[in-house]
Amino acid sequence: MYKSFQFSVFSFSVLETPMPNYDYEASDPARSCPTCLTGFERYQSLDAPRLTACPDCGAPIRKRLSLPAIGRSQASLDQRAKNAGFSKLKKISAGEYEKQY
Ligand SMILES: [Zn+2]
């Protein structure tokens, strides 16, 4: 049901797969909602289209620079998951995942 992840070197289950994590923020703070004003993270497969509008308010957003998830160590991922109290990824469309708290 999940298409195979192209970085097959990672053998974790899909929930632990280091899905690339993209940070977005409002490109025009005057037209933002609380979601995009403070920025939000979105897990997307590498070939998924980048978001250009806030999913909540539709305001234009831009991608914030961040380290690619695939460059983070497993210890760091584990720590991040622990800090988040175990994050679940919900599949919201083909190749696109939303972080669930
Ligand atoms: Zn917004």
- Residue 27 binned pLDDT confidence (cut-offs 50, 70, 90): very high
- Residue 18 binned pLDDT confidence (cut-offs 50, 70, 90): low
Ion ligand 1 nearby residues (CB, 5 A): 33, 35-36, 54, 56-57, 59
8 A C-beta contact, residue 44 and residue 50: yes
Of these ranges, 1-5, 6-10, 41-45, 72-76, the one predicted with the greatest mean pLDDT is: 41-45
- For residue 11, the model assigns a pLDDT of 46
The CA 23 to ligand 1 mean position distance, Å, reads 13
Percent of the chain scored above 70 by pLDDT? 59
- Residue 100 binned pLDDT confidence (cut-offs 50, 70, 90): low
Residue 15 has pLDDT above 70, yes or no: no
List the chain domain ranges: 21-100
The CA 21 to ligand 1 mean position distance, Å, reads 18
Amino acid found at 50: R
For residues 16 and 39, what is the distance between their CA atoms, to the nearest angstrom? 23
Residue 88 has pLDDT above 70, yes or no: no
**CB environment 72-86: b (16+ within 10 A), e (fewer):** eeeeeeeeeeeeeee
Residue 53 has pLDDT above 80, yes or no: yes
Residue 90 has pLDDT above 50, yes or no: yes
The CA 28 to ligand 1 mean position distance, Å, reads 10
